[in-house]
Amino acid sequence: MKKITSIKTRITIWYTTLMFVLIVVVLSLVGGLSYQLSIDSVEKDVILQVTQVRESLSKRQPGVFEIIESKEEFKNVSIYEMDGKYLVGQYNYDVVNIPFEEGVPRKENIDGKEYIVYDARTPGPPGRHGGFWIRGVESVSSTILLGRSAIIIMLILIPLILLLTALGGYYITKRAFRPVNNIIKTANEISAQNDIKQRIELNPEAKQDEMYDLSVTLNHMLDKIENLIKQEKQFTSDASHELRTPISVILAQGEYLLDIAENEKEKELAQNIVDKANQVSKLVSRLLLLARIDQSRQKINKEKVDLSVLFDIAADSMKALAEQKSIVLLTNAEENTIVDADESLLLSAITNLVSNGIKYGKEGGHVMLSAVKSANGIEIVVSDNGIGISAENIDKIWKRFYRVDDVRNDEYGSSGLGLSMVKSIVELHSGEISVKSELGKGTEFRIILNS
């Protein structure tokens, strides 16, 4: 399965990592630089002290040894004989054991601590053999200690800063992305409820940023789409309306031609005109009804409808068609199974299902109409033992103009609008319709209506 990481999380991870790298790089540079500067300043200090003592000694000033012993500023300087014997100053065995090296400041490790050591030589006062070694020794441990505490502070501060950055950043991105959730919610609602009227909620108090602009733009786009759909529905409605009169004329004149036909050929041609005109007339009425329902213009005159009566009417109107295929029409509704519905619309929906049962039924088969009261309301079931619908096609049968088998359905004068009309009528009654079918065995349509 593909792992989904939200943009919020990705942005937070990205800048937190970047922040971490930046902090570490900057602190390491600053830390390293300040350490080097401290070492440099210790070195300078030691060299200065040693140089001052050497100058005093070379000028043979009296009392130099005393100055070294007493003055605070020379506390890091010691004087040795040329053979290394300690004379005065800082006394330290370990320091004495470090070999002398003139004029080279260097780092030495004594008892685990770092020192800067600097040696200078002076000839010493006249009359004295050899001269003196002057050694300056100063600890850098205080500098290191400073560095260490900086590292400890860094180790505590970095996670804290990172945590605050991550939390703060996540909160800001979450707020910034809130409109996206609204957009997703609206898009899902539009596709789930097939309701293009929905719009993305806009908070007038929210910051009018890019996300706000995006929501406004999408809402404008939805306005345009809604208008286009409205225009298209209006066009279907207008076109169907305009077609009604010419079709009626063609039908009437076709029927007249059929009456006056003088031979078989003329009769056949006239019959063909009548059949096709009837087919187009049915198609146009369905289109008109669908357009009206789509535009919420279809009036619905609800009344108490007795289903046993309605079933009889439907069966009667389909009797002739059923007989052509020796199909038996069975009805099974208790008397007084009453439903609150528009009688003519419900009749047209049920007749349509029965007509399908016959069209797609087998010779000598049956179509059964039944009604039962259930906890959900009244259930109307129209079932047949006909050719059935494959699982692959079953979800598509509600689509407008969809026909499972174009060539064969042409024989029946099918339009592919019947079931979409039935569904629209049921939904207009706030009911539900479902289908179960098995290829080669039969089909069952179930309508649930409020009683």
* Site membership for ligand ADP, residue 419 (CB under 6 A): yes
Q: Are 436 and 365 in contact (CB under 8 A)?
A: no
* Site membership for ligand ADP, residue 386 (CB under 6 A): yes
* Site membership for ligand ADP, residue 76 (CB under 6 A): no
What's the min distance (Å) between Cβ of 2 and ligand ADP?
A: 36
Segment 307-336, which members bind ligand ADP (CB under 6 A)? none
Strands 366-374 and 328-333, bridge-based pairing: parallel
Residue in 287, 322, 389, 428 binding ligand ADP, rule: CB under 6 A: 389
Segment 112-141, which members bind ligand ADP (CB under 6 A)? none
Q: Is 38 exposed, middle or buried (0-12, 13-18, 19+ CB in 10 A)?
A: middle
Ramachandran category for residue 413: left, alpha or beta (phi over 0 → left; psi -120 to 50 → alpha): left
* Distance between start and end Cα atoms, the chain: 47
What's the min distance (Å) between Cβ of 293 and ligand ADP?
A: 15
Stretch that binds ligand ADP, among 42-50, 74-82, 314-322, 384-392 (CB under 6 A): 384-392
Which residue's beta carbon is nearest to the bound ligand ADP?
418
Stretch that binds ligand ADP, among 17-25, 105-113, 381-389, 424-432 (CB under 6 A): 381-389
What's the min distance (Å) between Cβ of 363 and ligand ADP?
A: 14
* Site membership for ligand ADP, residue 431 (CB under 6 A): no
Stretch that binds ligand ADP, among 179-187, 236-244, 309-317, 414-422 (CB under 6 A): 414-422
Q: Which is nearer to ligand ADP, 379 or 384 (CB)?
A: 384
Residue in 105, 169, 179, 418 binding ligand ADP, rule: CB under 6 A: 418
Query: Which backbone phi and psi does 198 adopt, to 5 degrees?
Result: -70, 150
* Site membership for ligand ADP, residue 409 (CB under 6 A): yes
Using CA atoms, how far apart are residues 201 and 183, in angstroms rounded to an integer? 8
Q: Tell me which residue has tokens 């108090």.
A: 205
Give exposure, 228-252, as e/b (b: 16+ Cβ within 10 Å).
eeeeebeebbeebeebeeebeebbe
Give exposure, 316-335, as e/b (b: 16+ Cβ within 10 Å).
eebeeebeeeebebebebee
Q: Which is nearer to ligand ADP, 221 or 391 (CB)?
A: 391
Residue 262 DSSP symbol: -
* Site membership for ligand ADP, residue 89 (CB under 6 A): no
Using CA atoms, how far apart are residues 426 and 435, in angstroms rounded to an integer? 13
What's the min distance (Å) between Cβ of 183 and ligand ADP?
A: 35
Residue 281 DSSP symbol: H
Residues making contact with ligand ADP (CB under 6 A): 356-357, 360, 384, 386-389, 397, 402-405, 409, 414-419, 443
